[in-house]
Amino acid sequence: MAKAVKLVVGDSLILAGWSRADGSPLQRGIWRCGAASGDLVATDGAWDGTTESWTARVPPSGLGDGSHPVTIVVTTTAGDSAVDTLPVVVHGQPRLSLLISDFNDQTLKTWWASSWYPFLSLDSAAAKVVTDSMRVRTDSGLGSPYLDLKGTIVQPAGLTYPNMLSAAFGVPARFDSTVAALDIVGIDFDLKTSHSSSTGSFQLMTNSTAVTDWDVQVVALPNTKGQWVHQSILFDQLKQGGWGKVVGALDPKILTFIEFRALGAGDVGVALDNVAFLGTRGEPVIGVGSRAKSLPALSLHGHKLSISVEGAWNLRVVGADGRVRERRSGKGPAQWALEPSRGMTWAVLETPGRRTILAVSPSMR
Ligand SMILES: [Ca+2]
C-alpha cells in the first residue's frame, strides 16, 4: 500500500486485504486511524490460518478533514506482528466557494475585475471566425442577466483541427493563494449551447503554466440545443487534449486561462451564468442561483403563462375533456395571459425531445 486514497468528508473507508504468516497462524488484525481503531474482520469468520483475507470499515467519524495515515497491524499466535500504513486524504464536500461572474451587474467582469472576452482560434485571413456578439443579455422577465456569445465558425481548408470560438477569461497569478485557501477543485456554471451542425461540439478548456507546447486540458461539454443546464465540473475530469508532455491532473493553483469553446463549422451559441469555482474549504457562497433549477420551461404567474426556452416550441392548452382550447407556437421566451376557462386545464409545451405539462386551472382565475 502506498498510493494515497482521497475521500470526501462523510465517506466511509472500506479496507480489504490479505495477510500471510510464516510459521504460526495469524491471531488478530487491527486498524488505527487517529484516535479511532477497530478489528480487521476475517473473511472466513475466524483468525486461525497462516493466510487470512480480511475487510475493515473505517467509519466517517474516524476521518476528519485533512491527511491521516491508516495503520494496519496483524499479529500471529507467536507474538510476531507486521505493520503497514495507508495514507488517506480527506477533503470537504465541493461547494460554491468563489463566484466568478453572475453578470447581474450587466457587465462582463469577473470577480477580480478583468473581463470575459470572445477568443478566436484564428482571427486573421478569410474571416475564419465571425463573432457576431458577446454581451450580457437579459430575457425580459425570465431570469437574471447572462453572458451570451454568438458567432459563425468557418473551417479553413487545410486546418487539421476543428476551428473554434470561445468565451474566455484569464486567471491572475495572484489567484494561487486564494485557490490554496479555498482548495479550489472545480468550476460550476449554468450553460446553454447551440450549434447548427450535428457534428459541432463544445469543450471547457483550461491553460496552466504546467502544460506547454500549446497544449491544453479539456473536458467535453454538452450541446444543450438551446436549453439551460447546470454543470459541475471537477478539474480532475479534464484531460490533456493535444501535443504537449503529459503533466497529470490540472493543478488549479497554476491556472492561467479558462475557455468555454464551440468547435466546428457552423452557427454557434454559448451562454453562461452563475459561474463559480468549487472549493472544499471555507464558507460556501450563498445566493448563487441556477437558471437550470430556477427557470422551469413552463410556469404560471397569476394568469400569465411564461415559456422560458430558447429554441422552437409548440404549446397547446387542453381541457379535461381533451379538447384543445388554445394553440401557439414560437421560438424563444414568451409570456401571455391565458383565456379564462372552466374546470381543469393543462398547458402542454413541446420542444425538441421534451414535453412539459403544467396544470393551469382553476388556480388561474
Ligand atoms: Ca445572472
| Residue 276 and residue 200 share a domain | yes
- Of 120 and 53, more confident: 53
Predicted confidence at residue 350, as pLDDT, reads 86
The rounded Å distance from CA 190 to ligand 1 centre is 9
Predicted confidence at residue 127, as pLDDT, reads 40
- Of 125 and 56, more confident: 56
CATH number where 336 lies: 2.60.40
Q: Are strands 255-263 and 164-170 parallel, antiparallel or unpaired?
A: antiparallel
The rounded Å distance from CA 286 to ligand 1 centre is 14
Domain edge (last residue) among 56, 91, 126:
91
SS3 181: helix
| Residue 329 and residue 204 share a domain | no
Q: Could you give the strand order of the β-sheet that contains 5-8, starting from the edge strand earlier in sequence?
A: 5-8, 81-91, 66-76, 26-33, 36-39
| Residue 219 and residue 76 share a domain | no
The rounded Å distance from CA 275 to ligand 1 centre is 9
271 pLDDT more than 90: yes
Q: Among residues 66, 52, 57, which one has the least CA distance to residue 21?
A: 52
Predicted confidence at residue 344, as pLDDT, reads 78
Lowest-pLDDT range of 40-54, 126-140, 163-177, 205-219: 126-140
What is the distance between the alpha carbons of residues 111 and 150, in angstroms, rounded to a whole number? 23
| Residue 141 and residue 29 share a domain | no
| Residue 269 and residue 157 share a domain | yes
Q: Are strands 201-208 and 217-221 parallel, antiparallel or unpaired?
A: antiparallel
For 159-175, what is the mean pLDDT? 84
> pLDDT band at residue 203, thresholds of 50, 70 and 90?
very high
> pLDDT band at residue 36, thresholds of 50, 70 and 90?
confident
Predicted confidence at residue 55, as pLDDT, reads 87
312 pLDDT more than 50: yes
Domain edge (last residue) among 244, 277, 293:
293
Domain edge (last residue) among 91, 113, 134:
91
- Of 220 and 286, more confident: 220
The rounded Å distance from CA 292 to ligand 1 centre is 12
| Residue 100 and residue 194 share a domain | yes
93 pLDDT more than 80: no
DSSP structure string for 262-323:
EESSEEEEEEEEEEEEEESSSPPP-S---HHHH--SEEEETTEEEE--SSEEEEEEEETTS-
The rounded Å distance from CA 209 to ligand 1 centre is 30
Predicted confidence at residue 266, as pLDDT, reads 92
Domain membership of residue 41 as a residue range: 5-91
124 pLDDT more than 50: no
Predicted confidence at residue 210, as pLDDT, reads 59
The share of the chain scoring above pLDDT 90, in percent, equals 22
| Residue 276 and residue 135 share a domain | yes
The rounded Å distance from CA 355 to ligand 1 centre is 26
Predicted confidence at residue 192, as pLDDT, reads 93
The rounded Å distance from CA 114 to ligand 1 centre is 17
CATH number where 57 lies: 2.60.40.10
Q: Please report the sign of the dihedral spanned by the C-alpha atoms of residue 349, residue 350, residue 353, residue 359.
A: positive
The rounded Å distance from CA 76 to ligand 1 centre is 64
- Spatial CB neighbours of 321, under 8 Å, sequence gap ≥ 6: none
| Residue 118 and residue 219 share a domain | yes
| Residue 251 and residue 116 share a domain | yes
The rounded Å distance from CA 146 to ligand 1 centre is 5
Q: pLDDT tens, 247-265?
A: 556 677 778 889 999 999 9
125 pLDDT more than 70: no
The rounded Å distance from CA 19 to ligand 1 centre is 57
CATH number where 162 lies: 2.60.120.430
Domain tally, the chain: 3
The rounded Å distance from CA 103 to ligand 1 centre is 5
What is the distance between the alpha carbons of residues 30 and 73, in angstroms, rounded to a whole number? 5
291 pLDDT more than 90: no
Q: pLDDT tens, 348-358?
A: 888 876 778 88
SS3 254: helix
For 113-117, what is the mean pLDDT? 86
The rounded Å distance from CA 75 to ligand 1 centre is 61
| Residue 302 and residue 220 share a domain | no
The rounded Å distance from CA 57 to ligand 1 centre is 44
Predicted confidence at residue 172, as pLDDT, reads 81
Which grid coordinates belong to 53? 483475507
What is the distance between the alpha carbons of residues 216 and 98, in angstroms, rounded to a whole number? 23
Predicted confidence at residue 303, as pLDDT, reads 78
The rounded Å distance from CA 99 to ligand 1 centre is 11
For 202-210, what is the mean pLDDT? 81
To 10 degrees, the CA torsion angle through 248, 250, 256, 261? 100
For 9-31, what is the mean pLDDT? 85
| CA-based max dimension of the chain | 89
| Residue 176 and residue 54 share a domain | no
The rounded Å distance from CA 101 to ligand 1 centre is 8
The rounded Å distance from CA 143 to ligand 1 centre is 7
| Residue 135 and residue 85 share a domain | no
